Amino acid sequence: MKAIRLLNLKRILELPLRAALAVAAIAAGSSLLVGVLIDQASLDRSMDAFVAQRAGNAELEVHGPGGPAGLDESVLPAVRAVEGVATAAPIVQAVVIAETAAGDERFIAAFGVDCSIEGVLGEFGCDDEMLTGLPGAFATSRALAEWLGADGVVRTDAGRLHIMNAFPVDVLDGINRGNVVGFSLTDAQRLLGHDGALTSILIVPEPGTDVAALRAALQEAVGPHNQVSEPGTVGGIDFAAALVTLLLFISVFGLAIGAQLVHNTMALSLEERRRDLAVVGAIGAPPRTLLTGTLIEAAALGLLGGVLGAGGGILVARPLVGALSDTLDRITGIQLDVHVTPLPLLAGVLLGVATSVLAAVGPARRAAAMDVAAELHGQARREETTTARRGRRAVAYGAVALAGVVLAWIGHRDGAIEPWQPVVAYVGFALTAFSAFRAVQHGAAPFLAVVQRAPFLRNGAARVAISSLVGEPKRTGTMVTALAAAVGIGVLLGNVNASIVRGADDASARFSDDGVIVTSLPVNNTLSVASRLAPGVIDAVQSLPVVDQVAPNLGFCGAHPAIGDFCVETQDPARTEWPVHRGRPSVTEVFANDEVLIGTGLARTRGLRPGDTFELPGRTGIRTVTVGAIWGDPDNTGMSISIPHSTFVDLYGDRPASGVRVTPVAGVTAEELDAAIEAAALDPDLRSLRNDEFNEEIKESISSFVTPFWALQRGMLVVSLIAVTSTLLLTGIQRRREHGLLLAVGMAPGSLSRMVLVEAGVIGIVGTIAGTVAGGVTYVAMILVSPLFTGLSAPFGFDTTAPLVFGGIGLVFVLLGAALPAWRTARLDPGVALRYE
C-alpha cells in the first residue's frame, strides 16, 4: 500500500490537471444519475408524507375499483357495522384548480369529510352542524388563502367558489405544503363529482383488534369488487414511476460516458508511463501491485468524482423534481418537495467508484501484463491492431448494431403485445447503442486511411496530421469516439424528444375535425381534476341551435386485484381511430358486439388477447367483459380499457365529463360552431377548442412532459464535451516527446501548431460524421423501444439540423481542446521534450 501510495496516489497530486479531467467526467456522469435518484426519493417521500398525513390513526382503508369516485356510499353502514371498527371515516378526495384573480392556476388536493374524521386525525372541535350549515363554505390553509388573494377562486365541478366562502384552518398548512381545501362530505360529493360515491373509508380499529382479521371481515362486508388495504393514495404513481424509469435509463448513458473518459484517461496515462511501470516491475513490483495500484488510482478518482457528483446531483434534482411535480400535481394534487436522502448520495459515490474501477480494469490488466524487458530496451511492440483488422472489426460492430435495430423492431412489432417482446427490444437497443459507438472507435482510423489517399491531402500539414492519426489507430479511435459520443447523444436525444412531440401531434391529429372540444380543463392528464364543467353548462351547450350532438369524455385510473392497475375511458366511436393491432377492425364493430378495446400495455402485462374475457370491477359488482380488439391507444401508457359511455355509466355512475366532443348541425362548420359556443359565454371557465387548438395544447403539454429529458440531454452534452476536451488535452500531453522530435528534425513551431489544429479539425469532422451515424442508428432503435415506456408510437423523422448544431458545438470544443496543446507545442523546447527524465 505504501508503494501504491507513492506510485499511484502521489501521481494524482503531481498531475492535477489529468486527475481533474477524469474527476469532472465522473462527477458530471454521476450527478445526472444522483439527480434522478433524488427525484425518485423525493417522489416516494412526498407521496409517503401525504399518505401518512391523510391516514392519521387509520390502519385500513376501504376503496372501490372506480378511481376517485369509485366506492358506492351504500357500503358505509355495512363497514360501520363490522365488529372491531372504532371509526369508519368516509372521505371524498379529488384534485381541483385554485385560481387567482390574475389567472394564475395551481392544482391542489381537495377533501370532503364528516366529523368522524376526528377519530382518524384526533379531535379538533368538529361540529357536524357547522360543517354542513353553510353550503359551499370550505376550509383552506392560510398559505393557500394568502396566495389566492382577496378575489381568488376554487374551481369545482359545480362552478367557482369564491375565497370569501373559505375559513382558514391552521392544521391544513401542514398538509401538502398547504395546497389543500376541505369541504363537508355532502358538499364534496356535490362539488367534486362524487354523486352517491366516496373515494374511500378510513378505518381505525378498536384497541386490541386483530387487524388482519378485521381486514378479512371488512372485505366480506364490502364485497369482492371493493378492496380493503393499508391506507394509500389513488392513481398516478405508475405514471410517475414510468417517467422516473425513463429518466434513469437516460442518465445511465451519462455515467457510461463518464466511464469512457476514465477509461481514456487511464489508458492514455498508462500508455504515457509504460516505461516507468516497466522500471517499477524491474526493481521488484509484482504484476499484482501494478494492477492493484492502477485500480486504486481509478477508485480514488472515482471517489472524488462520485462525491462531487453527489453534490451536483442535488442541483440537478431541483429542476427535475420541479418538472415531475408540474406533471404529477394535476393527477394527484400532490406537490413534490426535494428530499435529499443519504441513499442516492451514497449510491452516487459508490457508482462513481465502481464505474471508474470497471473502466480502468482493461488498461490496468494490459499494464500488468507488459513485457518489462522489451519496454526497458525500447523494443516493446505497441498493442496496436492493424488498420485492416480494425476495419473488419468496425464492420462487424456495425453489423451487430444493425442486428440490434432488427431486434428492437421485432420487440416493438405489432404493439409489443407478447411478454417476450420488451426483453428482445431492450436487448436490441442495448446492442445497437453499444455496437454503433464501438464501430466508430474501430472504424475511425481505417476511414482516415481511405481518406488520406485523396490527392488534395497528399501535401503539407494535412498529410502529416492524417498520417499521424492513421498511424495511431487506438488513440485516434479514442478521440473520435469521445466527440462522436457527444454528437451522437445530441442527435439521439434531440430527435427522440422531437419524435415524441411529433407523435403526440400525429395522435391528436387523428381526431376528426368536424367539431370542437368543450372543456374547462387543460387537455392532458386531467382525468382526476374535479374542476369540470357543471352539468347545467353542458346542457346549455347542447341546447345551442348550432349543436347537433354532445359526447362526454369520461375516465379514471384505478386498481383492483382482479386486473391490477388499469384505466377506463369512454370512447366516442366517431372521434378517434388508433391503429388496431389485433381483433375487430373498428371501435364501432367492437361496441356493437358488446366488447371492449384494450391498450397494448394491458394486453402485454395481463396476457389478454381478442376473445379473452376478464373481470372488470364496477362500483356495485364485478362484470365479465370480452376483449374485442387491442389497439395502440397511448393514453395511460397503453393501460386503458375503452368502453361505451352507457357501459361506463352503468358500471361507475354518471360523472361530470372532463370534456365533451360537440358536433355541429348540418351546414355549420367547426369554426362557426366554435364561435357560437364562445359567444354564448355560458361559463367563465368554458373553453371551446377547434382541432388545431386542441392539437397545439396537447403538443405543449407533451413538450412540458419532455422538459426533464431536454435538461438531461444538455447535461449529457456537457459530460460528453468535457470528455472530448480532456481526451484531446491528455493526448497533447502524451505526444510532447513526439512533437519535440519533429521540432528537432526541423519542423517549424508554427507548422507543428498547425498540424495539431488540423488533426483536431479532422477529428472534429470525422467525429461529427461518425456521431451522426451512430446516434442516428441508436435513435432508430430508441424510438422502436420508446412505446414500451410511453405507450405512444413515436414516428421516425430525422432532424438534419441536429448534426450541424451538435457537430458545430463539438468542433468548437475539439478546437478548444487542441488549442492548449497547440499553444504549448509552439513553445516546446525540443531538448526538454526529448529528455528521458
Partner 1 sequence: MTVTETDHVDTTRDGTSALALRGVHHGYERAGERIEVLRGADLEVRPGELVAVVGRSGSGKSTLLHVAGGLVTPADGDVVVGGRPVATLKPTERAVLRRRTIGFVFQFFHLLPHLDVRDNVALPLLLDGAPTGAARRRADGVLAAVGLSDRADHLPSELSGGQLQRAAIARALVSEPAVVLADEPTGNLDATTAAEVLDLLVAQVRDREVALVLVTHDTGAAARADRTLHLLDGTLT
Residues forming contacts to partner 1 in the complex (CB under 8 A) are: 2-3, 6-7, 10-11, 14-15, 275-276, 279-289, 372-373, 376-377, 835-837
Radius of gyration of the chain (CA): 32
Nearest to 756 by CA among 682, 717, 814, 810: 814
| Minimum distance from residue 378 beta carbon to partner 1 (Å) | 9
Q: Residue 809: CB partners within 8 Å, gap ≥ 6?
A: 486, 490, 717, 721
Let me know how long the chain is: 837
The residue (of 142 and 835) whose beta carbon lies closer to partner 1 is 835
| Minimum distance from residue 280 beta carbon to partner 1 (Å) | 7
| Minimum distance from residue 749 beta carbon to partner 1 (Å) | 22
| Minimum distance from residue 18 beta carbon to partner 1 (Å) | 12
The residue (of 389 and 835) whose beta carbon lies closer to partner 1 is 835
φ, ψ for residue 267, nearest 5 deg? -65, -45
The residue (of 285 and 587) whose beta carbon lies closer to partner 1 is 285
Please, are residues 551 and 658 in contact by the beta-carbon 8 Å criterion?
A: no
| Minimum distance from residue 756 beta carbon to partner 1 (Å) | 23
The residue (of 3 and 748) whose beta carbon lies closer to partner 1 is 3
The residue (of 594 and 738) whose beta carbon lies closer to partner 1 is 738
Please, are residues 294 and 5 in contact by the beta-carbon 8 Å criterion?
A: no
| Minimum distance from residue 734 beta carbon to partner 1 (Å) | 14
Please, are residues 759 and 452 in contact by the beta-carbon 8 Å criterion?
A: no
Nearest to 553 by CA among 521, 600, 596: 521
Please, are residues 677 and 544 in contact by the beta-carbon 8 Å criterion?
A: yes
The residue (of 101 and 373) whose beta carbon lies closer to partner 1 is 373
Please, are residues 488 and 634 in contact by the beta-carbon 8 Å criterion?
A: no
Q: At what angle do helices 801-826 and 473-509 cross, to 10 degrees?
A: 160
| Minimum distance from residue 371 beta carbon to partner 1 (Å) | 8
Pairing mode of beta strands 596-599, 640-643: antiparallel
Q: Side chain identity at 45, as an amino acid letter?
A: R
Q: Side chain identity at 581, as an amino acid letter?
A: H
The residue (of 143 and 376) whose beta carbon lies closer to partner 1 is 376
**Secondary structure (3-state) at 747:** coil
In the block, cell 384552518 appears at 169
- The whole-angstrom separation of Cα 277 and Cα 274 is 5
- The whole-angstrom separation of Cα 102 and Cα 149 is 10
Q: Which helix (H) or strand (E) holds 156?
A: strand 153-156
| Minimum distance from residue 320 beta carbon to partner 1 (Å) | 41
The residue (of 248 and 834) whose beta carbon lies closer to partner 1 is 834
The residue (of 103 and 284) whose beta carbon lies closer to partner 1 is 284
| Minimum distance from residue 733 beta carbon to partner 1 (Å) | 13
The residue (of 290 and 721) whose beta carbon lies closer to partner 1 is 290
| Minimum distance from residue 796 beta carbon to partner 1 (Å) | 52
| Minimum distance from residue 287 beta carbon to partner 1 (Å) | 6
φ, ψ for residue 346, nearest 5 deg? -65, -40
The residue (of 389 and 510) whose beta carbon lies closer to partner 1 is 389
DSSP per residue over 760-777, as a string? HHHHHHHHHHHHHHHHHH
User: How many CB atoms neighbour CB 751 within 10 A?
Assistant: 17
Please, are residues 530 and 157 in contact by the beta-carbon 8 Å criterion?
A: yes
